[in-house]
Structure 1
């Protein structure tokens, strides 16, 4: 049964309304519910999860309760120094301190009061590992895998992962699973691990359209949804917020719409905006991300900036001073058989491995292939100002393709025909033939490959210092026998390439808030009852990407701060009403709500 707006009464009132059911919004809704508030979670699309559901689910929280298990030496002070050096004046010191203080508390609070559970990766370096105060482990948390069968029919509410990131028709795999699957014929332990995965997936496909073993971002969303439904949080999908209504003390109601239904819903504590940012806004995208085609964006479709427009009309303002208005990753693009567009982010699986180089229209390298995906995307756009670098071309040989794959082409070197037929993958028996098919300079490409091969022997990239940091080496091949884990020769024909584009993976510029996540107006005063977190909020990272999970980490921390402040505001309002009327009004904790199950 699919419940929508029509199930709400005409005069419903909630303590807290959260707009946007991605990781930040769902966390904020859960924190408010844990504090006893009656919560409404509103999502504009048919699924919950937002871009978090597509992601690895990594959450960057320094000094969390899990950190000591893998890195006893790290402290919040170390992390603050690291952010001060990496981000500096691009964001507020006070906001960064609020994040660092709230993050560990948020993790402890949500784990103690819900089914959301994390673990620290034993090795997951900060991306700017050359900056003093960085660490190789402890700050990156990942959600524990989750059994989607626990959700029953509500499992269909979760936004499925990017299809090209799954195997065998919808089986999710994480970085550990990938290693076992690739080594299943070489290791008994890997064979056992892979056999369990395959058997579980076979059982799933007998009754479900995809695998129910959820990992990474889907696991986080599954755990959040399960926890929200257990706490009777009302969840509305395919529902838009049309208006914010201001009263004497701030936002007092919202107007919601679904098809031909409309409801005005009262709000006592506050409205928390977590709708995903401006990335698909009809005009703001062009203003803030000039030249970035929307088809290159791998994010979920709900981040239209509509909620931010309502906040601006209520007096809010956008931040400024960020390194970039968005966070970036190189992506490759392919049309699926059903006509939809597949956008594949090249995070770590190919571009940083030995035997891979990236070149521009002249056939020349123009960046360090092992830099972070954010800096890679920025470098593409900067280089394109003088030399055509969008698209860029990720080039390898048959050995590189076999070992690491290339974008949507999986490792193994088989099943290439459909990718070659539609032009996603380009093949040449010689480098010159590959260059001709790509429309790039053949002499430049030959020279770039020759230089790369010399650097692979010496272990030193004289042009871009590839492999010079701990982070870069972590994304190389630990089993590579050469002197540099990021550099290997290109020489075994045929040769292959895919086209890369700068894809925006999230907004860095958003609504200005204070340390309680309250939205501020142009006079730096809070807009009463209005909060923002996630990508709706001006990033505390200032458009810099210092480590893995630096969108989900602040989303969790400021969702915690916003929810607790809004819930406390609601209690204060109730206390004032009690004083005025001489009556006692208990805060409702166990109220009946509408748990939604989305059935296709």
Structure 2
């Protein structure tokens, strides 16, 4: 006997409420919900046959499934996937969201919560246009993008913002945060990225922006009747042949706290479960470069990627990731705890009186570049000997002026003056420092002398640090000039902290079209299967990171498109 939606809502499992897990829009605690985990509330248990019934096939190759739950649309992942849930529910579809973690938000909840779109209603007031947006998006593809996806993002970004305003009670606040490549044709110096305005009593800091966004998405989805299943990891897609003999997706098999559950999706399945950066085997075999640490939740292990591959999905953009460069020891400690790595190096490396050198004592990058672009500098190899990566054994070097003005490893733009972490190496001279970190002293001295000449001239001819308007630094006495980031290293003692590469998230996955439909290896949509966010091979869209919230905005747009398309379909036969 099937239970009605309202009857089933009354059978919620005991435990923490959603509001208790994500209250006030604050950033979700790292592991704070390890006890008292709440369960799920979902419509229509479909049979009483138990959870050990197998998915079998009849002579007509149709599955015979003992479904545990039934709905119109299943969304896998509660980060940007919630935009797909809201879109489908707003069109009248019933929706179940399955989330591997015991709380909502995924990696989005640990982000700044910015949503980046082009030609939105805020950026248009500051000169943005469809043509500027299209030009910038084309540059972002770097030869590996897709014009159809760029156009879909361009035409639907504002619609996504307005949908979430309407159904999630979001008040967006545009920011003057620059595009990550404002000097590119079509780039802008602000207002394409926006975040959620804090309510009275909420944490209004940028670090809590992801929590505010995740909270609003959940509130809006629940108000539309969306049901949440936590601690539920999707594992398999269930398919059948439709009337045309084409295999279509009709549900999922998931693991919920060790119990197998089968959820029928009468209209479609949206995969928005993040990337595969926490699976070392997938990362080693697909990403074409080093990405030792992770700036995402540890549940991002490629489950959705494997599900798509099993049903014949084509793949795109598998050869890179959203890169980052981080402090090694700090990141090792955080990742060992299952916690995303921090942003301390992001704040430190663009400040004056600092440089980064590799294990030969030479600079090898523009230290003030955006984090994704900076990662690419670590992909270059020596063309001699063991052909080591040029960024191997890299260090941030700072002098005492930097430390006394801002401190090191503090994860805030203006730092904590005088702060020196335990893993910092201190030398009374550059030669002393070089000996302690095992790099050639003469080369380090020569590198610093050369950089000091560039700082005096206000121009870095080697790596062009300070030329882009993006993140020239934080020395506000020198605002708008290269001197915001260029400053002499000439005051002992000197400090060094080892740095390493990290992955903010992978961006390779199933190929999709402008409706977020997953495409198979023959170029045809797999009926009723959709993907968005870092699960999909979309990027931002493309290989380059567009601006603040450069994955959240596109992720929510494509999940919205998938939700709307799925909701428009007739139910499976």
Instruction: Give the Cα–Cα distance (whole angstroms) in 1 for the partners of residues 431 and 528 of structure 2.
Output: 63
Cα 1:306–1:409, aligned 2, differ >3 Å: closer, same or farther?
A: closer
Which structure is higher in helix share?
A: 1
1:67 is the counterpart of 2:123: yes
Instruction: Give the Cα–Cα distance (whole angstroms) in 1 for the partners of residues 333 and 463 of structure 2.
Output: 36
* Greater CA drift, 3-12 or 75-84: 3-12
Q: What TM-score comes out, normalization by structure 2 length?
A: 0.81
2:406, 2:418 within 8 Å by CA — same for their partners in 1? no
Relative contact order higher in (CA < 8 Å, ≥ 6 apart): 1
Which stretches in structure 2 are left out of the alignment for 5+ residues?
Answer: 1-13, 16-37, 47-68, 243-247
Cα 1:554–1:409, aligned 2, differ >3 Å: closer, same or farther?
A: closer
1:19 is the counterpart of 2:76: yes
Instruction: Give the Cα–Cα distance (whole angstroms) in 2 for the partners of residues 352 and 215 of structure 1.
Output: 23
Instruction: Give the Cα–Cα distance (whole angstroms) in 1 for the partners of residues 362 and 41 of structure 2.
Output: 59
Q: Which residue is 2:173 aligned to? A: 119
Q: Which residue is 2:337 aligned to? A: 340
Runs of 4 or more above 6 Å deviation: none
Give the C-alpha shift of residue 435 in structure 1: 1.6
Give the C-alpha shift of residue 484 in structure 1: 2.4
Name the SS for the 2:515 alignment partner: coil
1:398 is the counterpart of 2:400: yes
Give the C-alpha shift of residue 557 in structure 1: 0.8
Give the C-alpha shift of residue 476 in structure 1: 4.6
Count of residues in correspondence between the two structures: 500
Equivalent runs, 1:521-540 vs 2, <5 Å: 521-540=520-539
2:115, 2:195 within 8 Å by CA — same for their partners in 1? yes
- State the Cα RMSD in Å: 2.6
Equivalent runs, 1:375-414 vs 2, <5 Å: 375-383=373-381, 385-386=387-388, 388-408=390-410, 411-414=415-418
Instruction: Give the Cα–Cα distance (whole angstroms) in 1 for the partners of residues 394 and 222 of structure 2.
Output: 45
Q: Which residue is 1:546 aligned to? A: 546
Q: Which residue is 1:561 aligned to? A: 561
1:254 aligned to which of 243, 252, 269 = 252
1:298 is the counterpart of 2:295: yes
1:223 is the counterpart of 2:216: yes
Give the C-alpha shift of residue 409 in structure 1: 7.0
Name the SS for the 2:255 alignment partner: strand
Give the C-alpha shift of residue 80 in structure 1: 0.3
Instruction: Give the Cα–Cα distance (whole angstroms) in 2 for the partners of residues 238 and 148 of structure 1.
Output: 29
1:58 aligned to which of 109, 114, 121 = 114
1:4, 1:239 within 8 Å by CA — same for their partners in 2? no
Q: What TM-score comes out, normalization by structure 1 length?
A: 0.78
Equivalent runs, 1:127-206 vs 2, <5 Å: 127-146=180-199, 173-174=205-206
2:177, 2:191 within 8 Å by CA — same for their partners in 1? yes
- 1:245-290 Cα deviation digits (max 9, x unpaired): 1123311122222134222221111000001022223532110136
Q: Which residue is 1:39 aligned to? A: 95
- 1:41-62 Cα deviation digits (max 9, x unpaired): 1111223222212221222111
Q: Which residue is 1:310 aligned to? A: 307
- 1:41-95 Cα deviation digits (max 9, x unpaired): 11112232222122212221112122244x1x11121110122234253111111
- 1:438-463 Cα deviation digits (max 9, x unpaired): 22122222112212222221111122
Equivalent runs, 1:263-274 vs 2, <5 Å: 263-274=261-272
- 1:474-496 Cα deviation digits (max 9, x unpaired): x4533238862220111222211
